Chain A
């Protein structure tokens, strides 16, 4: 099956710094990738849809200047949390979309746990 990786798996940063999370599709090309955020004991909430070569589409309530998304190639999307604060501490999961049997499927990465101190 399709494999999606994320790096790093876990990161701790200080308040006010920026942190970049990478999402890679390892054995397929993905024109579209998604970024989700999951707070402890809560569901996955879609943050943004990332399309290769164009600007990301952000969900309502997600600050695009704070969560910078770059989808520079068909196998890589990055999420940069700028000027991170403790409330940004969360589990960030990406997924990559691929066409399969006439429809689109999403394959999820293993997630990145961000802790802002």
Chain B
């Protein structure tokens, strides 16, 4: 069965610290997609990244970086030099490539960056 696990319920860091949010997934599909979304207090989901199962290259975008490792079924997200504006709930999601192309969301990690 498809499943996404975000074991960290809540993380607090002090501004400028680096923080890594973990995501572990389970799927039977050989082709799949992984996502990270940010949900600030307003509630609107903000798309951060999409990665397909054939592309294991790590990606960096400004202070954000992602580490995709198929061997451990993990897709971790690191924020470097965190800022107060990074405070939000972050969701990892898995997309099936068959049927209805449903998204399966993890339970989210609430990140609090303290000034």
Interface string of B73-96 (1 = CB under 8 A from A): 000000000000000000100010
What number of residue pairs across chains A and B have CB atoms under 8 A from each other?
44
**Nearest chain A CB to B16's CB is how many angstroms away?**
27
User: Bound complex: CA of A68 vs CA of B43, how far in Å?
Assistant: 23
B103 near A46: Cβ-Cβ < 8 Å = yes
Which of A22-30, A77-85, A100-108 makes up part of the contact surface? A100-108
A57 beta carbon closer than 8 Å to chain B: yes
User: Bound complex: CA of A44 vs CA of B45, how far in Å?
Assistant: 10
How big is the B interface, by class? 20 to 34
A106 near B103: Cβ-Cβ < 8 Å = yes
Q: Which listed residue, B43, B97, B100, touches A111 by the CB 8 Å rule? A: B43
User: B33: nearest residue on chain A (CB-CB)?
Assistant: A103
A42 near B107: Cβ-Cβ < 8 Å = yes
**Nearest chain B CB to A106's CB is how many angstroms away?**
6
A32-B100, A103-B97 are known contacts. Are A44 and B105 too (CB-CB below 8 A)?
Answer: yes
Q: Which listed residue, B37, B47, B100, B106, touches A57 by the CB 8 Å rule? A: B100
A44 near B91: Cβ-Cβ < 8 Å = yes
Interface string of B27-41 (1 = CB under 8 A from A): 000000100010000
A residues 21-49 with Cβ under 8 Å of B?
Answer: 32, 34, 41-46, 49
User: B102: nearest residue on chain A (CB-CB)?
Assistant: A46
Chain A residues with CB under 8 A of B91:
43-44
User: Bound complex: CA of A103 vs CA of B37, how far in Å?
Assistant: 19
A93 beta carbon closer than 8 Å to chain B: yes
Q: What 3 A-B pairs are tightest by C-beta distance, nearest first?
A: A110-B44, A108-B45, A111-B43
Residues of A near any B CB (own CB < 8 A): 32, 34, 41-46, 49, 57, 91, 93, 95, 97, 103-106, 108, 110-111, 113
